[in-house]
Amino acid sequence: MKEMTKERLIEIAIGISVEKDVDTLLETILTEAMRYTNCDGGTLYVCTEENLEFHTAITKSKNFYMSKKQGNMMLPPVPYSKTHVCACCALEKTKINIPDVYESKDYDFHGAQKYDAMNDYRTTSMLVLPMEDDKGKVIGVLQFINAMDDEGNIVSFPEECEQTIYALNSLAAVSLNNRKLSQQVLNLLHSFVEVMASAIDTRSPYNANHSKSMVNYGKRFIQWLNESESNWKFDEKDIDPFLMSVWLHDVGKLVIPLEIMDKPTRLGDLEDGLLYKISTGILMERIRGLEHPDEKEASDKKIGEIEAAKELILSSNAAGFLPDEKLEAIQKAGELFIKNDMGEEIPLLNEEEKTAMMVRKGTLTEDERKIIQSHVVNTEKMLSKMIFDGDYANVPVWAASHHEFLNGTGYPKHLTGKDLPKETRLLTILDVYDALTAEDRPYKPALPTEKAFSILHAMENDGQIDGEILALFEESGAWKKENQ
């Protein structure tokens, strides 16, 4: 048995406490315990609901090393049965220390003897210890075989080594439990993200694929970036937080009125009222022509003017862009007076309808655009109610800043380049690219890739987005759809 000094135990404890990889942590416990007991073989089992699963198995004299971490673990799980000494240890929460398994009458070692026969080996001494968490639940089993003295002779496992290994077990159990709790919090966070993304998708079919597409672009870009010769690499710990910020960047849209967020035309909900008003105006003119034959020519002319105005308005209603001549024609058509069902003369377009129809680009009025833009403020408010710690601390910051531009012309805070990290700059590019090329937007057709990048480069020239990141994104091909 090797000496386990207090200094060495502290060193191991520190190593265990900072180790984030569970598989590495478990292997460390096994190998350190084997070094301390100076034994030839060791196995670490992890408890599941159904059985004990092999995690790491080592036999030094046979140069045998199989582990979950190395990806070569092929040994079948061990059922919770009294015929297996490791299972007995787990079931009974007891240590098992046997000088010679072939002479033991307390446990069934036919399995060990069969293994020995197949591998030209002789299992003699064995020590089996349960790994318990802070609540006394067995989470694993450590099994050691063939302790050796300084001359290499097989000896029994001394009882004094058990307490030291128990101490190692306790350190590992606390660390594993902390990892488990941390993973549970992370799983809860991911569940929240999935629920929020699903809620946005369900609420607005016109926005259903936006975040999902951006996440796919982001995953492919990060993979390409980390495999490329670029100086910018995504640290492994930053990948999941960044993708989470992409999933959550539009969460504020949950409180945006649907009639604005999904507004497919300039008139939107006003269209039905306008069509009714126009139909009434035409009907009133027809009645005038019937009641006053001498005015029929004038009424027919007025009907023609109304129908021409209707055609102009409806053809312009969903157009992506309206040039000056169209806007002037709409302005003139809106000033045409028609009669309502009370016989009162009213303008074809009231102020609200005229404001909607005079939108040059897109479908939103200035007031509606401000409401849409408030989604980033809502995103920040909603995410501020949650606790994002550690590696995830920047998720709300990245998510809520995706409409900010390097030259300060973005919104809502008019941040500039010094305030915008690379993650936010990338998120902005992903957002703009997908918005330009999305095929599910009701208010505009999807742009081809070449046109989308042309617009992005124009934004770069205006100082709005990061040209270096844009060049990397374009080179990566991460923007390609699955069918491209």
pLDDT mean over 267-275: 95
Domain that holds residue 410: 204-258+372-476
Instruction: Let me know if residue 339 belongs to a domain.
Output: yes
Phi and psi angles of residue 127, each rounded to the nearest 5 degrees, phi first = -130, 125
pLDDT mean over 438-456: 84
Instruction: Let me know if residue 188 belongs to a domain.
Output: no
Q: Provide the token pair at 144.
A: 């050691």
What is the secondary structure of 99-111 as a DSSP string? S-GGG-SSS--HH
Same domain, 208 and 279: no
Q: Which amino acid is at 53?
A: E
pLDDT of residue 420: 97
Give the pLDDT band (50/70/90) at residue 461: very high
Contact 134, 89 (CB under 8 A): no
- Within 10 angstroms of residue 216's Cβ, the number of other Cβ atoms is 19
According to DSSP, the β-strands at 39-47 and 51-59 are antiparallel
Give the pLDDT band (50/70/90) at residue 77: very high
Give the pLDDT band (50/70/90) at residue 288: very high
Residue 75 has pLDDT above 60, yes or no: yes
pTM over 0.85: no
Same domain, 167 and 224: no
pLDDT of residue 262: 81
Looking at per-residue pLDDT, the higher value among 77 and 200 belongs to: 77
Q: Which amino acid is at 237?
A: K
- Over residues 159-195, the pLDDT tens digits come to 888 877 777 777 767 766 776 777 777 787 788 887 8
- Over residues 103-134, the pLDDT tens digits come to 888 887 777 788 888 888 999 999 999 988 77
pLDDT mean over 282-300: 94
According to DSSP, the β-strands at 337-339 and 345-347 are antiparallel
Same domain, 27 and 172: yes
Q: Roughly what angle, to the nearest 10 degrees, separates helices 6-18 and 160-203? A: 10
pLDDT of residue 443: 60
Phi and psi angles of residue 56, each rounded to the nearest 5 degrees, phi first = -145, 135
pLDDT mean over 465-478: 97
pLDDT of residue 7: 59
Instruction: Let me know if residue 65 belongs to a domain.
Output: yes
Same domain, 10 and 134: yes
Same domain, 289 and 342: yes
Tell me which of 125-129, 174-178, 285-289, 473-477 is least confident: 174-178
Instruction: Let me know if residue 185 belongs to a domain.
Output: no
Instruction: Let me know if residue 199 belongs to a domain.
Output: no
Residue 245 has pLDDT above 70, yes or no: yes
Same domain, 221 and 99: no
Residue 355 has pLDDT above 90, yes or no: yes
Same domain, 355 and 408: no
d(CA 326, CA 335): 14
Looking up residue 122, the CATH number of its domain turns out to be 3.30.450.40
Same domain, 16 and 106: yes
Same domain, 225 and 293: no
Q: Roughly what angle, to the nearest 10 degrees, separates helices 422-437 and 236-248? A: 40
Picking from 114, 148, 180, the residue at the C-terminal end of a domain is: 180
pLDDT mean over 47-53: 91
DSSP strand E in 358-474: where? none
Share of the chain above pLDDT 90, in %: 57
pLDDT mean over 248-272: 90
Picking from 316, 331, 363, the residue at the C-terminal end of a domain is: 363
d(CA 294, CA 62): 115
Instruction: Let me know if residue 454 belongs to a domain.
Output: yes
Looking at per-residue pLDDT, the higher value among 423 and 196 belongs to: 423
Number of domains in the chain: 3
pLDDT of residue 418: 96
Instruction: Let me know if residue 193 belongs to a domain.
Output: no
pLDDT mean over 292-307: 94
Long-range contacts of 217-221 (CB under 8 A, 24+ apart): 217/430, 217/433, 217/434, 217/473, 217/478, 217/479, 218/242, 218/243, 218/246, 218/426, 218/427, 218/430, 218/478, 219/243, 220/476, 220/477, 220/478, 221/426, 221/430, 221/472, 221/473, 221/476, 221/478
Same domain, 151 and 221: no
Looking up residue 456, the CATH number of its domain turns out to be 1.10.3210.10
pLDDT of residue 442: 60
- Over residues 361-410, the pLDDT tens digits come to 989 999 999 999 999 999 999 998 888 888 899 999 999 999 999 999 99
Q: Roughly what angle, to the nearest 10 degrees, separates helices 6-18 and 22-37? A: 160
H-run or E-run covering 406: none
Same domain, 268 and 136: no
pLDDT of residue 124: 94
pLDDT mean over 296-301: 94
The mean predicted confidence, pLDDT, of the chain is 88
Same domain, 245 and 269: no
- Over residues 135-148, the pLDDT tens digits come to 788 888 999 999 99
Instruction: Let me know if residue 440 belongs to a domain.
Output: yes
pLDDT of residue 205: 65
Distances (CA, A) of 193 to 10, 143, 221: 39, 41, 21
Give the pLDDT band (50/70/90) at residue 199: confident
Looking at per-residue pLDDT, the higher value among 272 and 9 belongs to: 272
